[in-house]
Structure 1
Amino acid sequence: MMMSSNPFHRINISLVILPSLFLTAYYLFASFPRSPIPPIIHTSLARLPSSSPSWNIYPENFYNGGAYVNLPLGRARILVRYWLIGPESGRRVVLIHGLSIPAIVWKDVAPVLASRGYRVLLYDLYGRGYSDAPQVTYDTTLFTTQLALLMQHVKWDNAFIVGLSMGGGIAAAFSAHFPHLVNGKVAFVASAGIMESSDISRTAKFMSSPLVQTVTALPPFQHYMRRLANASKPAEFQEVNPIQEILRLQSAHLPHYNAAVASSLRDGPIRGLHFAFQELACTSNQVLIIHGTADDTVLYKFASKIRDLVPQADLVTISDGGHDITITHAPDVSAALLRFLADNYSYKPAQPSLA
């Protein structure tokens, strides 16, 4: 087939192509990105009606000295709940809770530290308890920045840092990101931070997948979860487990709680923090590891792995202790922390690993 030699045909094609090329080049070189859109902010337990069981189980005044602060996140402000207990002149300690249970998990440890003269800062992580839930990726930087901003708000130049479970990962990353805010002591209780994908159950991976989270965020599913939670309230004669109950209430009634937990599992300080522990080993900080031998969430083997990364760490093993050792073995955890935080603490060789 012969090509057309008609010059008008070539001109017509040029009239079509040249303007398109000009408009494309103009867009590429002259366009400017839109202003960033603030993240959607989802509500916390504070927005539930006063008739909600959460106000009896975990009221916002669960600890004395509670307050709210608006922390900046891009163009948004996130409402965060925190508490300061113990004498104002006491040495400062931050307690960081874990993946799913807010600061109530320290209920049998924090008051003991306060009664022994420490000034204790507790707070709810973003998306848990009485802290709002921004619709963002719940990565390590989000959590370490939250603590740095909170310490700035309460005018703390530094503090001892204690982290439980995922809070241990936050504590390790915080000591790497903001070493000047750490006052020489870091403690890890049943600490995550260096788990591998293979250590997370298939069920947890499935439930935390973006597809499942998209489905569970739909209003019909949320309504179903609330009805299911209300229908499964413990009978009056049954003793209520506050930890299990607050977990159930958050999952059923907080619109972004499940997504926040899922994102923390996928993107947060559960895994990949070997570098943070290695950096901690290169500092003069004293380090304590407390872990139970019966922990089936963060296996006891991770205590020895963290100790391998931080050779100066002192390991306290709690025989038959599970993942909830701040509840089931609170006296043991409190005693270990008090010994560690004392001025006369000195390193002793870690106990042999049972892993």
Structure 2
Amino acid sequence: MVSNPFQCLTLSLLIIPPLLITTYLLAAFPHPPEAVYVHKSLASLPPDAKSWSIYPEDFYPGGGYVSLPFGRMRYWLMGPEKGQKVVLIHGLSIPAMIWKDVAPQLASQGYRVLVYDLYGRGYSDAPQTTYDANLYTVQLALLMQYLRWEKAIIAGVSMGGGIATAFTAQFPHLVDDKVVLIACAGLMEASDISRTAKFMSSPLVQTLTSSAPARKYLQRLIMKNSTAALAASAAPADKKESIVTEIVRLQSAHLTGYNAALSSSMRDGPIRGQAPSFSSDGFNDRAVLVIHGTKDNTVNPRYGSLILTLLPPTTRDRSRLITLEGAGHDLTISHGDDVTQAMLEFLKKK
């Protein structure tokens, strides 16, 4: 028992403050959640911006916008309305223009083709949030609901393949009996990502590169090195690739949410950790086409064959891997005709 008044006071000072703090923390009611801040898309740039000549809003026919909980997004519909439905999902940095040599050909063969810009790219807004698999799969699910599509064949390139995989695992009732994975990410390890990419995708660096002075510098640099925009439909393959590189630079320079979207996708997105999705029941009794280049320096070609081993047995027997000799990562640009032909043969097969 403490009898000394001084000791009593000291003991009270030691016990009471922590007790009050603990009581406050247990009883305090949280503040209401703040609304997600949304950065604008290419649609916000002035009409004379170079992006409008390289990648205009009407890049594909049948374009439209829809406002979803995380911002407004852009989509395009091609092909006959009663054709079999196919969704094409682009990858990490290049918006839907990457399907230019594939989507129109599928549409001309009678398929109803949906292409769209992922959040943070092209003409879709960039919510200030975590760009994980759930963000992307829910975006597509809500878009299909808006369009009243009950299900569709799902195809994705690069990170889009990882999204297609996660989507099949999470929303199998929205996926038809075929899935196409092109240069598919989803199984990458941290060791596959360069130190430079890891450094550039860190939150601190992205805060700096997304700042107004950094973007102004990039804008001046682009204007200094700018060349006349070439029509992609009439350009040889190397020119097409230069146009693609240009749209990446333009997004980085002019869109405040673009760099953050890319860096979060690198850290949190479906380029990694999708092994359980490939093995999930969502892939049961479906056929999967995997297309990969033998010289892919972004997603190692070994992942193409590994995907097949992860699929459920009922799917593995109906699936196949096509390797394009000497091809790199951006297959829909460098080998658009080969990809389209492989897809058409696969989609027509019973």
**TM-score for the superposition, normalised by structure 2:** 0.90
Match of 1:37 in 2: 34
Amino acid corresponding to residue 283 of structure 1 in structure 2: N
Contact 2:154 2:175 in 1 (8 A): yes
DSSP-derived class of the 2:223 partner: helix
- The 1:315/1:11 distance shift into structure 2, 3 A limit, reads closer
Match of 1:151 in 2: 144
The 5 Å alignment of 1:99-118 reads: 99-118=92-111
1:332 and 2:333 are equivalent in the alignment:
no
Range 100-109 or range 316-325, more displaced: 316-325
Which of the residues 115, 118, 122 maps onto 1:129? 122
Match of 1:296 in 2: 297
1:205 and 1:117 mapped to 2: Cα distance?
A: 42
Contact 1:175 1:280 in 2 (8 A): no
Unaligned runs of 5+ in 2: none
Deviations 1:204-236 (CA, angstroms, capped at 9, x unpaired): 111111221122122221221211122111268
Unaligned runs of 5+ in 1: 347-355
1:86 and 1:17 mapped to 2: Cα distance?
A: 74
Amino acid corresponding to residue 245 of structure 2 in structure 1: Q
Deviations 1:163-205 (CA, angstroms, capped at 9, x unpaired): 0000000001100011111011101011111011111112111
1:261 and 2:238 are equivalent in the alignment:
no
Match of 1:192 in 2: 185
Match of 2:321 in 1: 315
Contact 2:61 2:77 in 1 (8 A): yes
- The 1:36/1:221 distance shift into structure 2, 3 A limit, reads same
DSSP-derived class of the 2:169 partner: helix
2:50 and 2:229 mapped to 1: Cα distance?
A: 13
Deviations 1:71-128 (CA, angstroms, capped at 9, x unpaired): 11xxxx4111111111111111000000000000001100011111111111100100
Match of 1:181 in 2: 174
Match of 2:251 in 1: 250
DSSP-derived class of the 1:326 partner: helix
- The 1:183/1:282 distance shift into structure 2, 3 A limit, reads closer
- The 1:11/1:317 distance shift into structure 2, 3 A limit, reads closer
Amino acid corresponding to residue 161 of structure 1 in structure 2: I
1:163 and 2:169 are equivalent in the alignment:
no
- The 1:202/1:17 distance shift into structure 2, 3 A limit, reads closer
2:144 and 2:64 mapped to 1: Cα distance?
A: 13
Match of 1:71 in 2: 68
Which of the residues 20, 23, 27 maps onto 2:20? 23
Structure label with greater radius of gyration: 1
Deviations 1:255-305 (CA, angstroms, capped at 9, x unpaired): 121111111111101111111111168500111011111221112211111
Match of 1:94 in 2: 87
Amino acid corresponding to residue 229 of structure 1 in structure 2: I
**Higher helix proportion (structure 1 or 2):** 2
RMSD over aligned Cα atoms:
2.1
In the alignment of these two chains, the number of paired residues is 336
Amino acid corresponding to residue 127 of structure 1 in structure 2: G
Q: What is the Cα deviation at residue 14 of structure 1?
A: 6.5
The 5 Å alignment of 1:40-51 reads: 40-51=37-48
Q: What is the Cα deviation at residue 11 of structure 1?
A: 5.6
Q: What is the Cα deviation at residue 338 of structure 1?
A: 0.9
DSSP-derived class of the 1:263 partner: helix
Amino acid corresponding to residue 218 of structure 1 in structure 2: S
Q: What is the Cα deviation at residue 13 of structure 1?
A: 4.4
Contact 2:158 2:183 in 1 (8 A): yes
Match of 1:220 in 2: 213
Amino acid corresponding to residue 271 of structure 2 in structure 1: I
- The 1:235/1:60 distance shift into structure 2, 3 A limit, reads closer
Percent identical: 54
Contact 1:57 1:246 in 2 (8 A): yes
Contact 2:169 2:282 in 1 (8 A): no
Q: What is the Cα deviation at residue 54 of structure 1?
A: 0.7
